[in-house]
């Protein structure tokens, strides 16, 4: 769906006479109070005809229409079923199935300045200013960025949002060393855990159905960065074929990140410490009630960190008087927040010490093993790291295992370091989970890629999105990544693409209402046997 279609869908539903009558039964005649959020139908049966673009909107109602910051998501309207043909902008099915009273107006629903606490805001925090009198350490030329021996290019697509190209590190002894050809987020899926209507069908594919880039916002309307900032505009074609520009869409800035390393010699009293600085590249998007921030951090010691920040407003449901629902958290009278999960897919076309297209990379898995008791472990303290080469696509369908400190290394098959080890980058998982839905859940037909945390494929120009080119209303089972890997192509020496799937399970808290404090989830790419002398050791001391 395109952003302009959201407003069209809302207008069509609000103008539909049976809908107005259903709202009148619930005490609402002012349509300015009503919010209609278009949600793709997904694919459950043949009625979800993929020849028509269909939505089943969710309905909400503001408590008052004269407040521009009124939190409309605090009053979900349930019991009304609407099906909209988005191509022709027509309501094609409508039922007032069940009368569910509107929740009372929650006095804690507002989250804007001065409104949540009756006009009182904390004033006990002093200003924090980031001032770089000599300017930033990064250099920008068009889309090209150079910083602390890193260089890369910034791009943007309506589906993925921020894309980072041609990532390389300048090594004094070896020159420009490629790391990755292309880094981006290619899908995110949000399944809900309540089996009741309408929540069971809330399984949004935010990239494939809505577009992360299309729903990005201009940071002119409220900047999320602090310090000396370089902005990039985003340009793409919209639904009508015109050009759409989001000004100040991507934010580039430096951040202090505590200490990089430190050692104090207690014998001599000498102490050495170096501060860590990182370069942050990010954008924010809003999809209906939720906000997502996508961040890539580049560090002086060669690390690349990817982080997603989740915030915004919970998607709520209504409760009948005296009702309790175990599939969520009651947060106010008549209101509850269903349990749900958020999954993100990072696609990384790696080029460790090789040019794009060169078949010089492979992937190994590292698991820490406990030595069996015996002559090699008489003290029962021994453990070691075991390496396994992932030789083919089916072998490379892997899951995280914190008990084995499992991680993966993309390494060059030809280039070694001073000790003879092959150079590489290791993927270090952060917090993670797998889908809690049953294996026969309908949304998993389209999201089979969620079944594993890691997939590895050889590069193919037409294999960009894990759910296939068009995941919305797709009736075909496991199209996309889960089908591509059935070819079981060799990975022993090739142009490697990592697909890392990571997620978070949210059991909502009272503290997540009326607006959710940021939750963070991500992963790290770290040097592994890459450099002769580690660059963080030779950084100068900052005063």
Q: Band the pLDDT of 71: cuts 50, 70, 90.
A: confident
Q: Delineate the domains of the chain, giving CATH numbers in brackets.
A: 3-96 (3.10.450.40), 139-313+340-506+515-538 (2.70.98.20)
pLDDT at 356 over 60: yes
pLDDT at 543 over 80: no
**What element of type H or E holds 9?**
helix 3-14
Q: Band the pLDDT of 536: cuts 50, 70, 90.
A: low
Q: What is the pLDDT of residues 140-161, one digit of tens each?
A: 999 999 999 999 999 999 999 9
Quote the pLDDT of residue 537. Answer: 61
Pairing mode, strands 407-416 and 383-389: unpaired
Averaged pLDDT for residues 166-194 = 94
Q: What is the pLDDT of residues 79-120, one digit of tens each?
A: 999 999 999 999 999 999 999 999 998 888 877 765 555 555
Asked if residue 215 lies in contact with residue 3, where contact means CB atoms within 8 angstroms, the answer is yes
- In sequence order, what are the residues at sequence separation of 6 or more whose Cβ sits closer than 8 angstroms to the Cβ of residue 349? 180, 181, 182, 183, 356, 459, 495, 496, 497
Residues found in the chain: 543
* β-bridge mates for residue 366, sequence order: 387, 407
Q: How far is CA 408 from CA 177, 387, 429, 534, in A?
A: 20, 9, 9, 21
Quote the pLDDT of residue 112. Answer: 75
DSSP line for 444-463: HHH-GGGG-SEEEEE--TT-
Quote the pLDDT of residue 120. Answer: 59
Q: What is the pLDDT of residues 281-321, one digit of tens each?
A: 999 999 999 999 999 999 999 999 999 999 999 999 999 98
Q: How far is CA 383 from CA 367, 375, 386, 405, in A?
A: 10, 14, 10, 12
Averaged pLDDT for residues 439-443 = 94
Q: How far is CA 71 from CA 209, 361, 515, 518, in A?
A: 25, 50, 10, 18
DSSP state of 484: H
Q: Band the pLDDT of 2: cuts 50, 70, 90.
A: confident
pLDDT at 66 over 80: no
Quote the pLDDT of residue 77. Answer: 97
* Residue 527 preceded by cis peptide, ω within 30: no
Looking at mean pLDDT, say which of 127-136, 473-482, 517-526 comes out highest: 517-526
Arithmetic mean of pLDDT over the chain: 93
Return d(Cα 367, Cα 398) in angstroms, integer.
Answer: 12
Q: Band the pLDDT of 173: cuts 50, 70, 90.
A: confident
Q: Band the pLDDT of 538: cuts 50, 70, 90.
A: low
Return d(Cα 482, Cα 480) in angstroms, integer.
Answer: 6
Asked if residue 523 lies in contact with residue 502, where contact means CB atoms within 8 angstroms, the answer is yes
């Amino acid at each position: 769906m395109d952003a302009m279609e959201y407003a069209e869908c809302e207008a069509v539903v609000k103008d539909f006479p049976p809908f107005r009558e259903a709202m009148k039964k619930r005490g609402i005649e002012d349509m300015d109070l009503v919010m209609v959020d278009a949600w793709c139908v997904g694919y459950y049966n043949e009625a979800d005809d993929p020849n028509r673009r269909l939505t089943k909107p969710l309905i909400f109602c503001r408590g008052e229409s004269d407040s521009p910051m009124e939190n409309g998501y605090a009053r979900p309207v349930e019991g009304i079923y609407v099906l909209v043909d988005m191509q022709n902008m027509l309501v094609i099915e409508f039922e007032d199935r069940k009368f569910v009273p509107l929740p009372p107006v929650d006095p804690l629903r507002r989250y804007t300045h001065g409104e949540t606490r009756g006009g009182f805001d904390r004033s006990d925090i002093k200003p924090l200013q980031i001032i770089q009198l000599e300017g930033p350490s990064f250099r920008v030329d068009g889309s090209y960025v150079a910083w602390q021996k890193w260089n890369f290019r910034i791009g943007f697509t309506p589906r993925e949002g921020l894309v980072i190209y041609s990532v390389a590190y300048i090594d004094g002894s070896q020159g420009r060393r490629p790391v990755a050809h292309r880094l981006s987020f290619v899908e995110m899926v949000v399944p809900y855990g309540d089996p009741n209507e309408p929540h069971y069908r809330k399984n949004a594919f935010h990239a494939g159905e809505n577009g992360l880039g299309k729903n990005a916002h201009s940071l002119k309307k409220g900047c999320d960065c602090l310090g000396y900032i370089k902005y990039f505009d985003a340009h793409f074609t919209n639904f009508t074929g015109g050009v759409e520009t989001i000004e100040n869409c991507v934010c580039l800035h430096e951040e202090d990140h505590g200490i990089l390393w430190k050692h104090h010699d207690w014998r001599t009293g000498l102490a050495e410490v170096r501060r860590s600085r990182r370069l942050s590249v990010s954008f924010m998007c809003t999809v209906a009630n939720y906000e997502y921030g996508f961040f890539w951090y580049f560090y002086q010691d060669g690390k690349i960190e990817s982080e997603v920040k989740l915030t915004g407003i919970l998607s709520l449901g209504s409760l009948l008087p005296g009702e309790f629902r175990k599939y969520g958290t009651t947060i106010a009278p008549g209101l509850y927040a269903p349990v749900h999960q958020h999954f993100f897919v990072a696609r990384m076309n790696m080029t460790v010490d090789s040019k794009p297209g060169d078949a010089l990379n492979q992937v190994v898995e590292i698991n820490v093993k406990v030595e069996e008791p015996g002559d090699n472990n008489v003290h029962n303290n021994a453990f070691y790291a075991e390496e396994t080469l992932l030789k083919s696509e089916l072998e490379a369908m892997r899951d995280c295992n914190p008990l084995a400190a499992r991680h993966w290394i993309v390494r060059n098959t030809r280039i070694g370091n001073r000790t003879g080890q092959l150079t590489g980058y290791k993927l270090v998982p952060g917090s993670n989970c797998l889908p809690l839905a049953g294996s026969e859940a309908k949304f998993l037909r389209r999201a089979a890629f969620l079944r594993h945390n890691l997939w590895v494929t050889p590069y193919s120009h037409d294999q960009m999105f894990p759910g296939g080119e068009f995941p919305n209303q797709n009736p075909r089972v496991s199209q996309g990544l889960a089908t591509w890997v059935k070819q079981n192509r060799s990975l022993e020496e090739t142009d490697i693409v990592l697909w890392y799937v990571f997620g978070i399970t949210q059991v909502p808290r009272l503290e997540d209402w009326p607006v959710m404090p940021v939750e963070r989830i991500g992963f790290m790419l770290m040097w592994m046997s890459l450099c002769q002398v580690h660059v963080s050791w030779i950084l100068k001391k900052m005063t």
